Amino acid sequence: MGAGRSQEAEFTLRGDIPAGQWTLVGDGIITASVDVTFELLLRRQAGVDTELARWEQHFDPRGGGDFDAVIYEATAEVAAVVVGEGNPDGAELVFRYSGTDTAVPMAYVPNGEGAEHNGRIPNLTLP
């Protein structure tokens, strides 16, 4: 992900999520120095986003043409997410990441190959 661009993944919630520690695994292939912001949002039906957690990390490439993943893991304490039984309003959990301070369009690429690139597939662990 390069400067000024972001990617999102949405998941329609099936119910409430208790308060607790959330863990982000954000291993990625880094092709140029980049600052990456990872966000967890609660999106209500009116398109209103509430930030649940945010992580910011500077990444530098490994060098030598090495496409091994750069390992990144972080945690955050998140308040309870209350949407009501069955989520009648269709609230979504949104994971978004964006890159800044780079001129390269694909400076951060999530490690979708997992162990094949000596890392993990990016994921979230909820309480």
Identify the pLDDT of residue 84: 86
DSSP designation for 119: S
In angstroms, the CA 48 to CA 82 distance is 15
Structural domain for 30, as ranges: 5-125
Q: Dihedral through CA 29, CA 34, CA 38, CA 43, nearest 10? A: -110
Tens of pLDDT, residues 55-78: 999 999 987 667 899 999 999 999
User: Strands, E, within the chain: which ranges?
Assistant: 5-12, 20-25, 28-30, 34-43, 49-59, 73-78, 92-100, 108-110, 123-125
Token couple for 80: 């309870």
Question: What CATH code is carried by the domain that includes residue 24?
Answer: 2.60.120
CB 108 within 8 A of CB 100: no
Note the pLDDT tens digit of each residue in 75-126.
999 999 999 888 888 899 999 999 999 988 889 999 999 999 999 999 999 9
| Model pLDDT for residues 16-67, shown as the tens digit of each residue | 999 999 999 999 999 999 999 999 999 987 778 999 999 999 999 987 667 8
Cβ neighbours around 101 below 10 Å, total: 13
pTM, 2 dp = 0.89
